[in-house]
Amino acid sequence: MPEGIIYKALSGFYYIKNGDQDIQCRARGIFRKRRVSPLVGDRVTYEAEKPTDGYILSIQTRKNALKRPPIANIDQAILVFSVMEPSFDCQLLDRFLVTMEAHAIHSLICFTKKDLLSANDLSKFKAQINRYERIGYPVFFISSVTNEGISEVKKQMAQRISVVTGQSGVGKSTLLNHLNSSLNIETQSISQALGRGKHTTRHTELIPIAENGYIADTPGFSSLEIPEIASVDLENYFPEFSAYRDGCRFRGCTHLAEPNCRVKEAVSAGEIDQTRYAHYGVFFQELKERERKKYQ
């Protein structure tokens, strides 16, 4: 049976790309019985005698999936924030990073509006966010005015399915327009083309980008809830903890109140960033409160 990738889902139809072919399919009734819905990004087998009359037969095992937007098999998230206008929200970035870590999605951090800072202010800003590069997250600075950094980000999208998200008002749509110049549409129209209007996703669609890559946009967020994870698992989504947590005195150490905690010692020694650690504490308490309400 032929195989392809779902690149758009709309009104019960799934649009599959197989090489140069585009096939419109419906899902077999068996998926409803199993309470499984095909998602954009799914790799599927299908049968189709006509381009407009096909059926999805099976869905290959997913490596991950997001609820918002409903998309599967994401290779990386491009987290877009600005150096100013709006001001950089580091706690929001850490929320996004935890969310992506929890879904096993590689994150790339992209800062827009580089042209708004003087050379001296940009140097200070880079020193401030160096914490992320030390952890291992790739960081890019771009300007849609001068086109600086655009090609470097685009190279990261080749052969990958990427999702773009981040802080509201930072220029995600403008970035997308620069990354895919063939769209040749006004910035405000991009959100419609990618299924977005006033922060409401109408449909999810993968847009071709770079060499054999796809990209999907998501609505802007002013806040983001930590995903459904257990509080005891939160430490797994702060990669900088991994080198220290096995040295804690107590098994199951939360790295907050316990004595002889190697993570806390690393924070005191400047080996783990204090701001990131403070955010870990905030998120941990949020998860504990969620668990408390759940079992009341």
- The per-residue pLDDT for range 59-84, each reduced to its tens digit, is 999 999 888 778 999 999 999 999 99
82 shares a domain with 43: no
| Whole-number pLDDT of residue 254 | 96
Spatial contact of 55 and 48, defined as CB atoms under 8 Å apart: yes
Single residue among 190, 217, 244 that ends a domain in this structure? 217
pLDDT value at 218 more than 70: no
pLDDT of 197 higher than 60:
no
pLDDT at 178 over 60: yes
Look at 237 and 178; give whichever has higher pLDDT. 237
Do 47 and 93 belong to one domain? no
Q: Do 92 and 199 fall into the same domain? A: yes
Boundaries of domain holding 192: 71-217
Whether 192 and 243 map to the same domain: the answer is no
Confidence of residue 194 (pLDDT cuts 50, 70, 90): very low
Domain end point (choices 186, 217, 248): 217
By three-state DSSP, how is residue 292 classified?
Answer: helix
Q: Contact, 188 vs 91, CB < 8 A?
A: no
In the chain, helix, strand, coil percent, each to 5?
35, 25, 40
Tokens representing residue 162 in the block:
């990427």
Q: Tell whether 108 and 185 lie within a shared domain.
A: yes
Specify whether 11 is located in the same domain as 33.
Answer: yes
The answer to whether 99 and 226 are in contact (CB under 8 A) is yes
How many domains does the structure of the chain reveal? 3
Q: What is the mean pLDDT of residues 11-38?
A: 89
pTM as predicted: 0.86
Same-domain pairing of 181 and 161? yes
Closest listed residue to residue 98, CA positions, set 74, 71, 70, 79: 79
CB count in 10 Å sphere of residue 181: 8
> For position 269, which CATH number holds?
1.10.40.50
Q: Is the domain of 29 the same as that of 146?
A: no
Same domain, 140 and 253: no
- Domain end, chosen from 162, 184, 217, is at 217
Confidence category of residue 261, pLDDT binned at 50, 70, 90? very high
- Confidence bin at 186 (pLDDT 50/70/90): very low
- Does residue 23 lie in a domain region? yes
Residue list, annotated binding site for Zn(2+): 248, 253, 255, 261
Together in a domain, 144 and 259: no
In a domain, 287, yes or no: yes
- CATH number of residue 30's parent domain: 2.40.50.140
Are residues 79 and 156 part of one domain?
A: yes
User: Which positions make up the binding site for GTP?
Assistant: 112-115, 166-174
Beta carbons within 10 angstroms of residue 273's beta carbon: 19
- The verdict on 123 and 156 lying in the same domain is yes
